[in-house]
A and B are shown apart, each in its own frame.
Chain A
Amino acid sequence: MLADALFLQLGYNAALVALGATALGIAAGAVGAFLYLRKRSLVSDAISHATLPGLALAFIVMVLLGSDGRFLPGLLAGSALSAWLGLWLVSWMSHRTRLAEDAAIGAVLSVFFGFGIVLLTVIQSLPAGRQAGLEGFLLGSTAGMLRSDALTIAAGGLVVLALTYALRRPLLMGAFDPVHARMMGVATRQVDLMLMTLVMAVTVVGLKVVGLILIVALLIIPAVAARFWSDQAERVVLISGALGGLSGYTGAALSATAPDLPTGPIIVLVAFGLFATSLLVAPGRGLLATALRHRQVQQRVHLRQGLLALAHGQPIYEGLTRRILRRQGLTRPDGVATRDGRAAASRALRDENRWQALRRTEHLSELATRDDGLTRIEDVLTSDQIATLDATLAPQKGGA
């Protein structure tokens, strides 16, 4: 069953949904990366919640016009309109009043959502409203959907993906270097507008698959996860797109295997699994790497301070320093330096004296600013330069 699902053997609709979810996931991942780089991830939360009243109003209008109201493109158009209004209100509030953007986001998302719920209860009282199934848009539901809906989702996912690809250059420039972007004739405002349009497109297409409460997860989680793997914006965008696509595909395929595995939550949980893995094991920024590095730095700092104290015949204040010196055989249990300890101490002192000498040189003193107590002078100067420095030092301070 699972293998069938992963290889899209569960029927035409399921395959279409998986295709759409994958395309949507890639697009959401990439768009979300741009949002994250601009530190505006949660704007997407306001946008997605703001779709609800539009969705409901579109349904009511279509019913009043005589259709059955479940025409997906019509519903999506309505949701896009109210998302626009919500987005506009967020920026109006944060620019025109003293309220910060986070407050504006929270206000818009809760009020629009609340109003949407009011409209949903109105719809329930309509004769056509009983089977509206609009609740399905809250959490997404792809089970038993119409062929035309599946086609809309697949096409929507591909369109959003194509749009994101087409706009990648100005977005990258805007996310990275707004000043440069402006010089190149790309206005920040326009870039923002493009970005928000894409966020909205992702949201609207994702409504039916992931649902409006969870669609933000696709815009946020892959991007945050991707950021652990690279410091380069282009790579972050690519990785984020890949993680998003993987989540969308796996989620859609898994949920097709059983009726009680809703698509949206599965997609989000797969994305979260990828995030948790990244958080833990990514080299460089991951937790394990960071913890290891922090411990190393702490040990090096204490070792260095301890050696310098030994060299200067100064007392050592801290237990950790004493323990590290003892463990490395640099001092005896009673705190007296061993032969190795004395040698290491005099090396540390020589290094220290070289840095001091470097600070007082005319032409190289700029390099001395790299002295943070841990950087080795050999990494900053050539051996010739060190020899020159040593010549200025008092002769008794150790040999080269």
Chain B
Amino acid sequence: MSALELITDAGQPVAEDLSQAPLALRGLTVSYHDEPVVFSVDMTIVPGSMTGIIGPNGAGKSTLLKAALGIVTPLAGRVTVWGQPLGKMRDRIAYVPQRASVDWDFPTQVLDVVLMGMYRELGLLRRVRPRHVAHAMECLTRVGMQDFAERQIGQLSGGQQQRVFLARALAQKADLYLLDEPFAGVDAATEAAIIGVLKALRDEGKTVVAVHHDLSTVEAYFDRVFLINRRRMGEGPVATAFTQDALQATYGGRLSDGFVARQSAG
């Protein structure tokens, strides 16, 4: 099915056409220990856009992403990917988890990690051919890590680890890229390199969604924002949705007044 079957107020089934939306969430609620951390969130990602998911710490940003990917199970709600159930569309999604979510002491090398991105192509037993390695090296080159292919992953800096993760996502040859805090704890050069790669992806017509917490770079990096603090607080192009009002509502008293003032002046 390419649309959701819905029952409206009037009892009539209608179809909401989501086949164009790379990712759509409807009524998504996720709870940890019986407290909703994401409540009844609707989100519609626009194709070819670069969307920042913005909100304070503990607002459910990462949880939203994980629920969208089926990594955590929602209490209520639906996820569609180009109008289809998630399970059918995994080939078109690439995911970059938080860097801190894995054990970097794992005995493996950079090239191996990137090849993991080609798992769906390689399957259980297909041999790794030179063209696979070439593709992995190409992805490493795009993030500036081509000289580190043989390096043990534990020997990399935080920024380098993040680039390797991005290279692995590139190796997935996806149409929708979901990134969880890609700029957390990385150096300025890495941040610039990553945003360069993401913008290039967007310019190729891919869709990029990233959880992001640095408000000062939102306007420079993204063309759309999704504001969340347990609930959907706003969604739209940066120019209209990333406003002082919306931020005030999203962050409550936690947003520094200075920043809000700067935003409204700018």
A–B contact via C-beta, under 8 angstroms: yes
Complex contact A366–B253 (CB within 8 A): yes
Identify which of A304, A336, A371 contacts B9 (C-beta below 8 A): A336
Cα(A83)–Cα(B109), bound, Å: 39
Closest B residue, CB atoms, query A333: B11
Q: Is there an interface contact between B248 and A359, defined as CB atoms closer than 8 Å? A: yes
Which residues of A sit under 8 angstroms from B36, Cβ to Cβ? Answer: 297, 301, 372-374
Q: Which of A293, A308, A320, A360 contacts B248 (CB 8 A)?
A: A360
Asked if A335 CB lies within 8 Å of chain B CBs, one says yes
The docked-state distance in angstroms from the alpha carbon of A233 to that of B37 is: 27
Q: Is the CB of B229 within 8 A of A315?
A: no
Given the contacts A294-B34, A308-B40, A335-B11, A356 and B249 also touching, CB distance less than 8 Å: yes
**Nearest CB of chain B from residue A187's CB, rounded to whole Å:** 28
Whether B17 is near chain A, meaning CB under 8 Å from some CB there, is no
- The answer on a CB contact under 8 Å between B77 and A317 is yes
With A297-B34, A305-B27, A336-B9 already in contact, the answer to whether A318 and B76 are too (CB < 8 A) is yes
Given contacts A308-B40, A336-B9, A373-B40, is CB(A315)–CB(B14) below 8 Å? yes
**Docked pose: A191 CA to B4 CA in angstroms:** 60
19 CB-based A-B contacts, threshold 8 Å: A294-B34, A297-B75, A301-B29, A305-B40, A315-B7, A315-B14, A318-B77, A322-B7, A334-B11, A336-B10, A359-B252, A360-B245, A360-B249, A366-B254, A367-B252, A369-B56, A372-B230, A373-B29, A373-B231
A372:B35 contact, CB within 8 angstroms: yes
Q: Which residues of B contact A133 (CB under 8 A)?
A: none
- Is B2 part of the binding interface, using a Cβ–Cβ cutoff of 8 Å? no
Q: Are A371 and B75 in contact (CB under 8 A)?
A: no
Q: Give the distance to chain A from B45, nearest Cβ to Cβ, in Å.
A: 18
Q: What residues of A have a CB within 8 angstroms of the CB of B14 in the complex? A: 315
B228 to nearest A CB, angstroms?
Answer: 12
For the complex, count residues of A whose C-beta is within 8 A of B. 39
> With A318-B78, A320-B76, A359-B248 in contact, is A293–B27 under 8 Å at CB?
no
Task: Say yes or no: A317 contacts B231, CB within 8 Å.
Answer: no
In order of increasing CB-CB distance, the 4 nearest A-B pairs are A373-B39, A315-B6, A366-B253, A365-B252
Instruction: Give A contacts to B, CB under 8 Å.
Output: 98, 290, 293-294, 297-298, 301-302, 304-305, 308-310, 313-318, 320-322, 332, 334-337, 356, 359-360, 365-369, 371-374
Set B8, B27, B31, B253: member contacting A313, Cβ < 8 A = B8
Interface of A is mostly: helix
Inter-chain contacts of B254 with A (CB < 8 A): 366, 369
Q: List the A side residues contacting B248 at CB < 8 Å.
A: 359-360, 365
**How long is the Cα–Cα vector from A368 to B59 in the complex, in angstroms?**
12
With A301-B39, A372-B230: A337-B76 Cβ-Cβ less than 8 Å? no
Number of A-B contacts (CB under 8 A): 100
Task: Please tell me if the beta carbons of B253 and A317 are within 8 angstroms of each other in the complex.
Answer: no
Which residue of the partner chain, among B8, B34, B105, B252, contacts A368 with CB atoms under 8 Å? B252
B76 touches A305 (CB 8 A): yes
Contact status A304-B40, CB under 8 Å: yes
Q: Flag if A318 contacts B27 (CB, 8 Å).
A: yes
Contacts of B31 in A (CB 8 A): 297, 301
- B253 close to A316 (CB less than 8 A): no
A305 cross-chain contacts in B, Cβ below 8 A:
27, 29, 40, 76
Can you add 19 more A-B contacts, CB < 8 Å, to A297-B36, A321-B27, A374-B39? A297-B75, A301-B39, A305-B29, A313-B8, A314-B8, A317-B6, A317-B27, A318-B27, A332-B11, A335-B9, A335-B11, A336-B9, A337-B9, A359-B249, A360-B245, A365-B252, A367-B252, A369-B252, A372-B37
For A316, give the chain B residue with the smallest CB separation.
Answer: B7
Pick the most buried of B7, B31, B36, B39: most chain A CB atoms within 10 A of its CB: B7
Tell me, yes or no, whether B26 is within 8 Å of chain A by CB: yes
**B214 beta carbon closer than 8 Å to chain A:** no
B187 at interface, CB cutoff 8 A: no
Chain B residues near A365: list those with CB within 8 A.
248-249, 252-253
Least CB distance from A288 to B in Å reads 14
Those of B61-112 within 8 Å (CB) of chain A: 75-78, 105
From residue B220, how far is it (CB to closest CB) to chain A in Å?
Answer: 26
A36, B75: Cα distance in complex, Å: 31
CB-nearest residue of chain B relative to A297?
A: B34
Once bound together, how far apart are the Cα atoms of A318 and B230, in whole Å? 20
Is B231 a contact partner of A366 (Cβ separation < 8 A)? Answer: no
Q: Is A371's CB under 8 angstroms from B7's CB?
A: no
Q: Which of B19-69 contact A (CB under 8 A)?
A: 26-27, 29, 31, 34-37, 39-40, 56
Chain A residue with the shortest CB-CB distance to B74: A301
Q: Does chain A have a CB within 8 A of B219?
A: no
B78 smallest CB distance to A (angstroms): 6
Q: How far is the CA of A174 from the CA of B9 in the complex (A)?
A: 59
**CA gap between A371 and B249 in the complex, in Å:** 12
- The answer to whether B223 has its CB under 8 Å from any CB of chain A is no
